DNA sequence: ATGTTC
């Protein structure tokens, strides 16, 4: 889009001043090139978000932002319940609590070389991936309620994982305030055979090597060294999250007029935080967060089993687990005063800096790990939160490379088989059930993750710690 | 993202 529509505040901060029904400005963190690459829809969607009741400070977009459903993906917005603030199902997204976790393996690149194919096969066999994939775990009514209430803590109690995993998951693995009774029977039905599955789209499990370290001190705290092998898992709440999103979006759109809300876009359906519907969505959405946390915990268990079959002495310890589709009540300073705000992050990662009370002791000195999944075949990054990020976008950073092209366009332009062959020639093994899915994920269909991350750092959203390169990718 | 057009 045209950069002249913005007031450039500094090198990476582009502002849309409030006009029309906008209550606050809209701000995009990007450089001129990333901004030009973004669809004009990002401008419109972010301006619409700035019109919603009770929004404070500004509607923000991260450098990886692109056109989404209602809210842009890469969007961050905070709402004050005391100012008539709202919660929006479109502001969280369909894949509730989609996120990334990264595991240390204790192996290095040389250990892996001779066993690469075998490990790819073992992981692909062990972890179901693709549309409608089903797992080996089947939940009944009681275990479903327990999972929705307990998240990764529930999964651990079922035998999936290790106790020390928990402190390295946001919310200690269990999102408080989940209300399984606000999750429909249909959402639960869709989920009962889907625990421990990756799903499709941009979801993946990737075996990666640490290719570059930018910050030795933070890397040491995070346990990262050059040539170490790590495994990253990117997935979410599967059919359950999608069903919750679908149902509440509809209800929020229908009831907006009776809540006195004139929606700038039907896709921005929302409900007041103090309404019954808003409260029900929060309870269901938090249960969806627990579903995603439990799912990533179970996949971790399956990953440990697959790796143990080839490297019996390897111990996989969790670095961290972050969610990037959430709405959370957090304390932030507005005009010098601490306030409880509902922070929507849609395709945006929490990036709390050093000393934040919500971080476990191990990360107090350097800030939380911010896990950035790149596109297929390209680098991923590990960043850390910094003090500034709390002033820039409520403690948030980008979540990935961000699409530059639609799935439809990408699937017309590339062939999955060719892409897999090209990547194989670079030593990257791709395993996927869907050649169309692979084509949709073609690296050039995404923005350049290196520049997205550089701009995120320049904007003070997070600081670079390490760059990872893919070796094996199990693709959803 | 999604039992990929409830």
pLDDT of A203 higher than 90 = yes
pLDDT bracket for residue A204 (50, 70, 90): very high
The residue range of the domain holding A10 is 3-404+446-475
Find the mean pLDDT for residues A448-467.
98
Is A258 among the domain residues? Answer: yes
Tens digit of pLDDT for each residue in A75-134? 999 999 999 999 999 999 999 999 999 999 999 999 999 999 999 999 999 999 999 999
Tens digit of pLDDT for each residue in A400-432? 999 999 999 999 999 999 999 999 999 999 999
Please give the pLDDT value at position A389. Answer: 86
Please give the pLDDT value at position A80. Answer: 98
Q: Which two tokens stand for residue A437?
A: 């899915």
Q: Show residues, CB within 7 A, near nucleic chain B.
A: A 69, 94-95, 98, 130-132, 186, 189-190, 194, 199-203, 235-236, 238-239, 242-243, 246, 434, 476
Please give the pLDDT value at position A14. Answer: 98
Find the mean pLDDT for residues A4-24.
98
pLDDT of A388 higher than 90 = no
Three-state SS string over A359-405 comes to CCHHHCCCCCEEEEECCCCCCEEEEEECHHHHHHHCCEECCECCECC
The long-range contacts involving A167-173, CB below 8 angstroms and separated by at least 24 positions, are: A167/A360, A167/A362, A168/A318, A168/A319, A168/A320, A168/A321, A168/A360, A168/A362, A169/A101, A169/A293, A169/A297, A169/A318, A169/A320, A169/A321, A170/A321, A170/A322, A170/A323, A170/A350, A171/A289, A171/A293, A173/A293, A173/A297, A173/A321
Cα A265 to Cα A50, A77, A248, A273: the distances in Å are: 12, 16, 16, 19
Is A231 among the domain residues? Answer: yes
Is A436 among the domain residues? Answer: no
Q: Judge whether A172 counts as a catalytic residue.
A: no
Is A212 among the domain residues? Answer: yes
Task: Please count the structural domains in chain A.
Answer: 1
Nearest nucleic acid nucleotide to A204, CA to C1' distance? B1
> Residue-wise over A147-162: b if at least 16 C-beta within 10 A, else e?
bbbbbbbbbbebebbe
CATH number at residue A186: 3.90.1860.10
pLDDT of A387 higher than 90 = no
Is A440 among the domain residues? Answer: no
Is A205 among the domain residues? Answer: yes
Nucleotides of B under 7 A from a protein CB: 1-4, 6
Contact A128, A196 (CB under 8 A): yes
Is A177 among the domain residues? Answer: yes
Is A441 among the domain residues? Answer: no
Tens digit of pLDDT for each residue in A302-345? 999 999 999 999 999 999 999 999 999 999 999 899 999 999 99
Nearest nucleic acid nucleotide to A198, CA to C1' distance? B1
pLDDT of A238 higher than 90 = yes
The gap between A201 CA and B1 C1' (Å) is: 7
């Amino acid at each position: 889009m045209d950069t002249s529509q913005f007031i450039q505040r500094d090198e990476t901060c582009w502002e849309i001043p409030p006009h029309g029904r906008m209550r606050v400005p809209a701000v995009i963190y990007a450089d001129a090139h990333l901004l030009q690459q973004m669809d004009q829809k990002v401008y419109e969607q972010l301006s619409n978000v700035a019109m919603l009741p009770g929004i404070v400070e500004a509607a923000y977009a991260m450098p990886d932002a692109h056109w989404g459903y209602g809210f842009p993906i890469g969007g961050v917005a905070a709402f004050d319940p005391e100012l008539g603030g709202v919660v929006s199902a479109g502001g969280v997204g369909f894949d509730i609590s989609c996120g990334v976790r990264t595991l240390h393996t204790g192996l290095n690149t040389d250990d892996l070389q001779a066993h690469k194919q075998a490990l790819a096969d073992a992981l692909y066999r062990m972890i179901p991936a693709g549309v409608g994939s089903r797992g080996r775990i089947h939940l009944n009514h009681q275990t479903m309620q327990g999972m929705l209430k307990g998240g990764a803590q529930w999964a651990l109690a079922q035998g999936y994982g290790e106790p020390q995993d928990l402190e390295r998951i946001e919310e200690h693995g269990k999102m408080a305030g989940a209300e399984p009774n606000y999750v429909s029977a249909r959402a639960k039905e869709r989920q009962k055979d889907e625990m421990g599955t990756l799903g499709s789209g941009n979801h993946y499990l990737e075996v990666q090597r640490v290719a570059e370290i930018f910050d030795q001190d933070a890397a040491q705290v995070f346990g990262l060294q050059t040539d170490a092998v790590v495994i990253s898992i990117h997935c979410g709440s599967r059919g359950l999250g999608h069903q919750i999103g679908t149902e509440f979006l509809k209800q929020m759109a229908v009831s907006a007029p009776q809540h006195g809300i004139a929606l700038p876009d039907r896709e921005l359906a929302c409900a007041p935080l103090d309404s019954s519907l808003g409260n029900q969505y929060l309870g269901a959405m938090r249960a969806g967060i627990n579903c995603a946390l439990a799912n990533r915990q179970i996949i971790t268990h399956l990953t440990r089993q697959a790796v143990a079959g080839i490297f019996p002495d390897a111990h996989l310890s969790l670095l961290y687990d972050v969610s990037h589709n959430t709405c959370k009540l957090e304390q932030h300073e507005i005009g010098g005063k601490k306030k409880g705000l509902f922070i929507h992050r849609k395709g945006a990662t929490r990036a709390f800096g050093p000393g934040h009370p919500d971080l476990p002791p191990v990360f107090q000195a350097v800030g939380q790990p911010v896990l950035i999944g790149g596109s297929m075949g390209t680098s991923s990054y590990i960043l850390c939160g910094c003090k500034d990020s709390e002033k820039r976008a409520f403690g948030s950073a980008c979540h990935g490379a961000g699409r530059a092209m639609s799935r439809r366009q990408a699937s017309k332009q590339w062939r999955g088989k060719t892409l897999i062959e090209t990547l194989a020639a670079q030593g990257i093994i791709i395993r996927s059930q869907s050649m169309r899915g692979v084509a949709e994920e073609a690296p050039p269909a995404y923005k350049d993750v290196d520049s997205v991350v550089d701009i995120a750092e320049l904007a003070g959203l997070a600081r670079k710690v390490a760059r990872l390169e893919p070796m094996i990718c199990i693709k959803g």
